[in-house]
Amino acid sequence: MLVSSLLAGAAVMVGFPLSYVYDHFLQLAVGSGLIALFLSILLYIKSLAAPESALAPGGNSGNPLYDFFIGHELNPRIGFFDLKYFCELRPGLIGWCLINICFLVKEQELRGSPSLSLILVCGFQALYVMDALWHEEAILTTMDIVHDGFGFMLAFGDLCWVPFTYSLQGYFLVRHPQELDIPVAVGIVLLNAVGYIVFRESNSQKNTFRRNPADPRVARLETIPTATGKRLLVSGWWGIVRHPNYLGDLIMALAWSLPCGLSNILPYFYVIYFTVLLIHREARDEHQCIKKYGVAWKEYCRRVPYRIFPYIY
């Protein structure tokens, strides 16, 4: 991320036409999709020679089209280089920030300086990306890494969908600049801060507990024993809703869209899509957890009835 940022800064200093990315946004998105498709074909061909133990639990259905989409091999590697782990965060998230930098350059060319709205959106999203990269090891316990193979779904999502749809707020603001009053801007910053605190603190609490349940930061939290020998957190952030990290994510997503105003639905595509995605992911999590923890998970659901939104869902 730092190397990419320095290179982008050097490109701006020497006058490299970074606004080209904005001017050819659709062509670059299509090109990225084609690269993801080509990579997926290679991954599927490689997976046909993989041993049974290396195949993904969810991508070994016997249906070639389904396995191609979900991913036949769990963690395809070239030597020690794990392709899925690398693609899960780095190209898409860093590419997302680089695209935003190109939008800032384009708006400076058009209007002399970037607007406060665009600066806020790019700043919020850069914080999110840097947080994800700083805590990269946390993805090792996610469903993408543990359960799903590396096929077209993840390749397209990582290399095309993330950088080119998550940056739609910035793309919109270049063409449709929005004036923000300072009190409104402060309110949006505070909303993003609340979302980030909920997201980061709940994830940190979970990861700390997984690494060392005796850690003083989590040792006093109430838990439920399970048949697997592990314990489920039932207090702290995880006693409010079952997925407080999803709640924080969605609050931040709304804060990224609000600087774009209310005149167009395009900047709100991300928060609408992400809500649907996280509700679907929560349902998948629920299915996996009931299989894994059985009665203990049912007790957890009784103690914590709300899934993502307190008193709503």
User: pLDDT for 238-254, tens place per residue?
Assistant: 999 999 999 999 999 99
Distances (CA, A) of 293 to 45, 88, 202, 281, 300: 35, 27, 21, 18, 10
- Band (42; pLDDT cuts 50, 70, 90): very high
Mean pLDDT of the chain: 92
Question: What is the arithmetic mean of pLDDT over 149-158?
Answer: 94
Phi-psi region of 76 (alpha: psi -120 to 50; beta: other; left: phi over 0): beta
Q: Which residues make Cβ contacts (< 8 Å) with residue 229, sequence separation at least 6?
A: none
Q: Is the pLDDT of residue 18 over 90?
A: yes
pLDDT at 141: 78
Q: Is the pLDDT of residue 23 over 90?
A: yes
pLDDT at 214: 87
* Residues 84, 297: Cα–Cα separation, whole Å: 30
Return the minimum-mean-pLDDT range out of 2-11, 35-44, 82-91, 281-290: 281-290
If 0-12 CB within 10 Å is exposed, 13-18 middle and 19+ buried, where does residue 148 land?
buried
* Residues 254, 197: Cα–Cα separation, whole Å: 15
Question: What is the arithmetic mean of pLDDT over 142-147?
Answer: 81
Question: What is the arithmetic mean of pLDDT over 143-150?
Answer: 84
